[in-house]
Structure 1
Amino acid sequence: MNKTKETLVISFALFSLFFGAGNLLLPPLLGYNAGEDWFLVTIGFVITAVIIPIFGILAHAKLQGTMFDFAKKVSPLFSLLYCIIIYVIAIAIPSPRTAAATHEIAIHPTFGTSPLLTSTIYFALVLVFVLNRSKILNFIGKFLTPLIVIALLLVIVIGLSSSQLIPNETVFETAIVSGVLEGYQTFDAIGAVVVGAVLIVSLNYNKEASFKDKKSLIRKSGFIAGLGLFVIYAGLISVGALYGSQIDVDLNLSSDMQRATLLRGISSAALGEFGKTVLSILIGLACFTTAVGIIAGTADYFKGLIKDSQKVYVITAVVSCVFGVVVGQLDFHSIIVIALPILMFTYPITIVLIFLNVLPEKYASSIVFKLVILITFIFSLPDVLAFMPFEVDLETIKNSIPFAKYSLGWLLPAIITLVVVNVYKQFTTKST
């Protein structure tokens, strides 16, 4: 395979591993609610759902190890706990969420089958792919992703060309911040550290490629995949906004049903009855490839953790798929509700780890990692406590921390800590 073709295949595979249930369902309703501010909300969404995840891939290109390498500068124990938490979250929330979305939007409306049957068949197929992991990137990159992209572009292009271009008024007070927070729910920053590890393992099957060649290939593929995600997200958000006056979304429904109703309405308006078929295929493929990436990444990690045992890989894959069937019985909305407090805890730490790993070594020493992560953890606690089942008075705390009311109270303290520690190091180095 020549380099250009290989880059495109890897880019398509990366795009597909990122693009799952949330990535398809969240943007249209976000655009619908943003209305006339759809462009601003797109900027916010792209920050957390495109830019940060692609930085995650760039960090993988630099490290070319496992996810353990992302946090080992904090401490080996912290990294071990972080990896286990992230992988458990991945198989407990985003992976089953793909099955729930596939059932609710693609399968049940057409066949009326039970969630158990859908989840069982779905994860049986996922398991087949995961157990043949050396072929994952090629198959997804060559065959599945082009189908996803073609279906998405059909809905977006025809939708935009046939829309009356009359958006609703925005319901958001601060559109960019609303976009940033909605981007959290795609799990793409966490996805970057998980699927990036899958990419590294898959590329390592090619023993001839040098570290430098793989670094270049991963970086180029990451940028192309990021561009594709940006185009699709912007398209889905704009279509959602511009169909605002044409599709009746019942605000009394749960948010997941609102998302499903809007997406069905857009697909039907753009492509007629054929749109329902396209949407079903699109949902199934987008969700399926993401589930494969998540479970393969989890199995890879535990395999490496326990003497590179293939038996551990198989057991982890089977357990992950069985767990996916069980949790997949929940509806999409319930899984998101469970996810929010966990996201508020893990997302800030993951984002900070991604950026610290991208920085040049002289600005990202072990002490920098330790202190910045500690401060990020402390200042993200109010966001986590806000979702706890018990009452906690957080108003005084949130009013005293910049951006805390937007669930970003950790951001400025983390940046200040990074700068102060590096400045202090510079002065102490000069004085000695």
Structure 2
Amino acid sequence: MSQNKELFITAFALFSMFFGAGNLLLPPLLGYQATDEWYWVTLGFMITAVVIPIFGILAHARLQGSMFDFGKKVSPVFSTLFCIVIYVIAVAIPSPRTAAATHEISIFPNFGTDALLTSSVYFALVLVFALNRSKVLNFIGKFLTPLIVLILLTIIGIGLFMPHKEVATSIIEGFPLFAGLLEGYQTFDAIGAVVIGGVIIISLNLKGHSSYEEKKKLIAKSGWIAGFGLFAMYAGLILLGSYFSGEIEVDMSQTNDMKRATLLRGISLATLGNIGTAFLSVLVALACFTTAVGITTGTADYFKGLFKNSQQVYNNTAIFACILGVVIGQLDFHYIIIIAVPVLKFIYPITIVLIFLNVVPQKYATPLVFQAVVGITFIFGVFDAINFFYPENSFLINFRETIPLGMYDFGWVLPAFVTFLVIGLMPKKS
């Protein structure tokens, strides 16, 4: 296989494993609510849903190990616990969420079948792909991703160039940039990066790649290509939401997931007519499926590595992940999102700082820097997670108001950055 062909297959596979349920459903409603301030929410969304995840892939390109390598400078025990937590979250929330989204948008409106049947067939197919993992990269990169991109580009292209009414007034409270940042959290893409990056590395190893530098260049370049693709799709979907804000009526009293689905159906119908519903169904199903395959494969790979590369452990983990997906995938998409929020508030900041520390030059990222920055981030992440359950607590309110960006759930950013500067950079300067 030529180098260019392999580069694009790898990049397409990365894009497809990133682009799941949330990536498709979240941006249009964000643009719909931001209207003429769409560029601010786009900027925020890109930071948490594109830039940080691609940095995660670049970190994988440097480390070329497993997710364990991301946190081993903190301590081996911490890194093991971090990996287990991430993989449990991955198979318990984002993976079942893809089945729930597929059922609610693609299957139920067309066939009216039960959620149990959808999730059972869905994860049976995921399991088939996971058990044939050596073929995963090629099949997703060659066939599934081009189809996803073609349908998306058709909807976005027609939607942007057709005539539109004047956009409505923005209904986002506060600075739109922070709304975009927080919505980008919901894509799970930073967590996805540390899971999916491992899948890419093992897939390349299985295809016979042994050179560290060769793999580093291939992974890094494919990461940038995938990132550009994600940027284009997100910006297009957000802009579509803004353009249609004066034309499509969305009941704002509905749950967020219902609003997102209603808007996306409306856009598909407006751009492609009656056939738009069929295209949307295929698009959602494919986007969700490739993400579920990536998560299941990555999780099984990790536990296989923990047990001396036992293929039986790999198979058992994949089967367990799919059974869990069937059980949780029957839940309403809205409830899965609610479960995800406090978990994200706690684990996402830690994941982000680990990605950042593994990308910066190693001379600035000593074990002491890792331990200090992750420790500070952990403390502030705990406060954000607790606040989700006790939003009226006076101590938490005062604490969050005192810390810069605290009321936006980014109270950890400045303390983590200052800690990095003081411990990582100041001694070097002196």
**TM over 0.5, shorter chain:** yes
Please state how far the C-alpha of 1:4 moved relative to its aligned partner.
Answer: 0.6
1:422 to 421, 424, 430: 424
CA deviation profile, 1:17-54 (whole Å, cap 9, x unmatched): 00000000000011101111011110100000000000
Q: 1:38 matched to which residue of 2? A: 38
For 1:421, give the aligned amino acid. I
In the aligned structure 2, how far is the partner of 1:231 from the partner of 1:323?
Answer: 33
TM-score (norm 1): 0.97
Task: Kindly report which structure 2 residues correspond to 1:14-413, keeping only aligned pairs within 5 A, or say none.
Answer: 14-164=14-164, 166-172=166-172, 173-388=174-389, 392-393=393-394, 394-413=396-415
* 1:204 alignment partner, SS class: helix
CA drift of 1:389 comes to: 5.9
- How far has the Cα of 1:272 moved from its partner? 0.2
Verify the 8 A CA contact 2:98 2:289 in the aligned structure 1: yes
1:208, distance to aligned residue in structure 2 (A): 4.2
Paired residue secondary structure (2:152): helix
CA pair 423-212 structure 1, distance change in 2 beyond 3 A = closer
How far apart, in 1, do the equivalents of 2:73 and 2:426 lie?
Answer: 19
CA distance in 2, matches of 1:276, 1:194: 32
Residues 73 and 369 of structure 1 are in contact (CA less than 8 Å); yes or no, is this contact kept in structure 2?
A: yes
Query: Does the 8 Å CA contact 1:163/1:243 hold for their aligned counterparts?
Result: no
- Percent of residue pairs bearing the same amino acid type: 61
RMSD: 1.1
Q: Which amino acid aligns with 2:400?
A: K
Q: Is contact 1:250–1:258 with CA below 8 Å preserved after alignment?
A: yes
Alpha-carbon distance in structure 2 between the residues aligned to 1:390 and 1:305: 39
Give 3-state SS (helix, strand or coil) of 1:170's partner.
Answer: coil
Distance apart, 1:390 and its partner CA? 8.3
Unaligned runs of 5+ in 2: none
Q: CA deviation at 1:207?
A: 2.8
The whole-number CA distance in structure 1 between the counterparts of 2:425 and 2:14 is 37
Q: The residue matched to 1:169 in structure 2 has which SS?
A: coil
Q: Is the 8 A contact 2:347 2:381 kept in 1?
A: no
Preserved contact between residue 32 and residue 245 of structure 2 (Cα < 8 Å):
yes
Q: Which amino acid in 2 is paired with 1:410?
A: W
Q: How far off is 1:326 after superposition?
A: 0.3
Instruction: Give the conservation status (yes or no) of the 8 Å contact 1:385–1:392.
Output: no
Q: Secondary structure at the match of 1:117?
A: helix
Return closer, same or farther for 1:202/1:120 CA change in 2, 3 Å cut-off: same
Counterpart Cα distance in 2 of 1:209 and 1:242: 48
Contact kept in structure 2, 1:91 and 1:294, CA below 8 Å: yes
| Alpha-carbon distance in structure 2 between the residues aligned to 1:34 and 1:162 | 20
Q: Secondary structure in 2 aligned to 1:244? A: helix
Q: Deviations over 1:242-298 (max 9, x none)?
A: 001111101121111110000000000000011000000000000000000000000
1:171 is displaced (CA, Å) by: 1.4
Contact conserved, 1:92 with 1:323, CA < 8 A, in 2?
A: yes
CA distance in 1, matches of 2:342, 2:168: 31
Count of equivalent residues? 428
Q: Distance in 2 between matches of 1:167 and 1:140?
A: 37
- Tell me by how many angstroms 1:424 deviates: 4.7
**After the TM superposition, which of the residue ranges 417-426 and 28-37 deviates more from structure 2?**
417-426
Verify the 8 A CA contact 1:163 1:242 in the aligned structure 2.
no
Distance apart, 1:423 and its partner CA: 3.9
Q: CA contact under 8 A between 2:391 and 2:397: conserved in structure 1?
A: no
For structure 1, the residue ranges without an aligned partner over 5 or more in a row are none
Change (3 A) 1:253 1:338: same
Work out the CA distance in 2 between the residues paired with 1:163 and 1:404: 41
